[in-house]
Amino acid sequence: MLHRTPTHRRLAAIALFTLMLAPVEADAARDLCTSEPGACVYTGPDAPVLAADVCHGSTGTWLKGASCPTGTWTYFVRYGEVVDPLTNMIAAYIPLDNACDSPGLCVDGPPLVGAEPFPMCCTGNTSGGDSTCVSGASCGGTVWYCHDGVSNIDGTVTCFHAEEI
């Protein structure tokens, strides 16, 4: 039987405290877009793959070097691209499925003048065309990417096929 002295207990406590204060490299495994959704932009399904560790803080997001500066945290970004090669600043993306790939979500094109791309959230029967779609990503339904859409006065969205079908 091992006899523990007060010195052993103190050393064990110091070792445990030191481990608790040590930087955790597992932070690099945290996904930026799920941890900090406001740091990422919704985009279509063709988002470029970045697959890199980044530093993120109040001043932006950039490719990680040896370590992240004080006040920033390490994250992983699967989809994104370098937008400034001098500073290694990146744009991080959340790719969404194309709304027009789902039957009934888009109307025949061409799109109206002023149509623009944005995420839209649809509730109801999206496969049968009996759904309500609104601009944004928080309505409790499925979020799609609309390449050519317009917001209607009632808050709904009309998404157009890019070409006449």
* Residues 77 and 88: beta-carbon distance below 8 Å: no
Residue 73: predicted pLDDT: 94
Residue 128: band (very low, low, confident or very high) from pLDDT cuts 50, 70, 90: low
Same-domain check for residues 34 and 71: yes
The kind and range of the H/E element at 19 are helix 6-21
Label residue 165 by pLDDT band (50, 70, 90).
very low
On whether both 79 and 116 belong to a single domain, the answer is: no
Counting Cβ atoms within 10 Å, is residue 127 exposed (0-12), middle (13-18) or buried (19+)? exposed
In this structure, the answer to whether residues 86 and 31 fall within a common structural domain is: yes
Q: pLDDT value at position 20?
A: 41
Nearest to 137 by CA among 126, 124, 125, 146: 146
pLDDT confidence of residue 11: 41
C-alpha 91/C-alpha 61 separation (Å) is 7
Segment 98-112 mean pLDDT: 87
Per-residue pLDDT of 6-57, as tens digits, reads 554 454 444 444 434 434 444 446 999 999 989 999 999 999 999 999 999 9
Residue 28 shares a structural domain with residue 91: yes
Which residues make Cβ contacts (< 8 Å) with residue 140, sequence separation at least 6?
121, 123
Residues 103 and 150 in one domain: yes
- Look up the domain containing 106 and give its range: 99-160
Whole-number pLDDT of residue 3: 53
Q: How many domains does the chain have?
A: 2
Q: Is the pTM of this model over 0.85?
A: no
**Does 19 fall in a domain?**
no
Instruction: Identify the pLDDT of residue 64.
Output: 94
CA distance 39 to 56: 9
Residue 71 lies in a domain: yes
